[in-house]
Amino acid sequence: MEELLEKLIDLFKRNLQSNLTGIYLHGSMAMNGFQKEFSDVDLLVVVKENIEKKEKQTIINDLQSLKADLPAKGIEMSIIKEKAISHFEYPTPYELHYSETHQEIEKGYDPDLAAHMTVVYHRGKCLYGLEIKKLFVPIDEIYFLKSILSDVIGAEITENPMYYTLNYCRVLVYFKEKKIVSKKEGGEWGLRHLPEPHRSVVDYYFKEYTKHETESWLKPSKQDLIMFASFMERAINGNGHL
């Protein structure tokens, strides 16, 4: 992955030049929980000024040219201006958003950026440019909570059980311990702290996520998943009380 990160750094340096403030890694790769089959590369790129549409399209084209080098889930990247950090608003404005399913060349607003910026501040890695603590500032917790809760509350867990099972654990860890953790760390916490039968749900998807081996384990039923999600949402709404 180091070679891929170097290619991404070169890509943004080449396209943004003096407008580039920094490139920051967040998500599982920054928190040592990266799983090649199930993780994407999460980047937050910061610039000084607006980016022209022509520049944005070139960046998108260059990112697409790296597809063969990317992990299975690809890359999720947002470009924001320094002003979005120094004058924070929620949802947060971006210049460009890119993922496997969305290439937003027009400017927009994304509630997820509050969580991304918080992860960068507390556990991110600076790949290039200004040091994290010299650029980013802590975001009011209420916006971080809105951002992470929007990803799980009311989610259709049966549509993507591994993702939502581990994300429920991550959110509950924050409510109980005020710690920002990866999916892997959230799963480990769930195995230590959740009661049965919910621990078994976490066990199955944690093994699938980390070992890609579940043939010998009983797969949770749809009802198991619905009960797990209901239990976790009650615990989250109860400020972490199990």
All domains in the chain, ordered by first residue: 2-142 (3.30.460.10), 151-237 (no CATH)
Mean pLDDT in order along the chain per 10 residues (242 residues): 96 99 97 90 98 97 95 95 98 96 90 97 98 98 96 93 97 97 97 97 94 77 97 89 68
State the pLDDT at residue 205: 96
Residue 30 amino acid letter: A
What local confidence, expressed as pLDDT, does residue 126 receive?
Answer: 99
Instruction: Give the tokens for residue 79.
Output: 């470009």
- The pTM for the full model equals 0.94
How far apart are the C-alpha atoms of 94 and 72, rounded to whole Å? Answer: 25
Interacting residues of 4 by C-beta distance below 8 A, sequence separation 6+: 41, 66, 69, 70
Calculate the CA 199 to chain-centre distance.
23
DSSP 130: S
Please count the CA atoms within 13 angstroms of the CA of 128 that sit on its side-chain side.
23
pLDDT of residue 240: 61
Beta-ladder partners of 78: 44, 97
